Amino acid sequence: MNNLFRYYRLQIVISLSLMVVLISQVYRNGYLELLLIVFGCLLGTFFLDLDYFINAYLIDSETEFAKLLKDYVKNKDFLGAFNYTIYHANEIKNKTLNSAIFQVCMAIFSLYLVRNPVSTFYKALVISILLNSIYRFFYFYIQNEHQDWFWVLKETPGKIFIGIYNFILILIVGLSIFLYI
């Protein structure tokens, strides 16, 4: 449990900060709307970890990583499964959700979603996923494990491209909050 807290503490702070901003900017009335914002922001913290389960169950189910992760889930040891994914995340290459292509899709989707009359939960969830995805990229970048993030490109882009790319993503998060209806 301590390892999970250490790994997720900054992501939870990011989600809680987003939650405070959304509540202060867009909260209109009712406890249901408030709860939907809270749950959307907090669920967005853990959404990107579905990547490891998608890989284990759908994409590459015969690897040692997949077999051990399935054993954790089969034994209902979900904390163990999350701990396992934390320590062995670098064994998975070409991730689906932890990638630049997913970030671009989420950025476009967040701008689309905040301007439409859908549930507050979905809007908060999508913005939280995008914001946590930006953090997750920086986490991998600092550990020099960001090359797989751009698997769709032939080669890993340079620092200037990465800086501009992440700046644009952060602007899109801000714009999504600004346009939030």
Return mean pLDDT, the chain: 85
User: pLDDT tens, 99-117?
Assistant: 888 999 999 999 999 998 8
CA atoms of 180 and 96, how far apart (whole Å): 27
- Helices 100-114, 159-179: crossing angle, 10 deg rounding: 20
Token readout for 40 is: 């959307």
Band (pLDDT 50/70/90 cuts) for residue 166 is very high
Q: Regarding predicted confidence, which is higher, 118 or 80?
A: 118
Task: Please provide residue 143's backbone torsions phi and psi, each rounded to the nearest 5 degrees.
Answer: -85, 5
pLDDT > 80? residue 146? no
Calculate ∠ Cα 75-43-48, nearest 5°. Answer: 70
| Whether the model pTM is above 0.85 | yes
Which residue type is seen at 19? M
Token readout for 80 is: 């163990």
User: pLDDT tens, 17-60?
Assistant: 999 999 888 777 778 888 999 999 999 998 988 888 888 888 87
Whether the Cβ atoms of residue 93 and residue 147 lie closer than 8 Å to each other: no
Q: Regarding predicted confidence, which is higher, 134 or 82?
A: 134
pLDDT at 13: 92
Whether the Cβ atoms of residue 90 and residue 145 lie closer than 8 Å to each other: yes
Which residue type is seen at 45? T
DSSP string, 65-120: HHHHHHHHHHTT-HHHHHHHHHHHGGG--S-SSSSHHHHHHHHHHHHHHHTS---H
**Domain ranges in the chain?**
2-179
Which residue type is seen at 70? K
pLDDT > 80? residue 16? yes
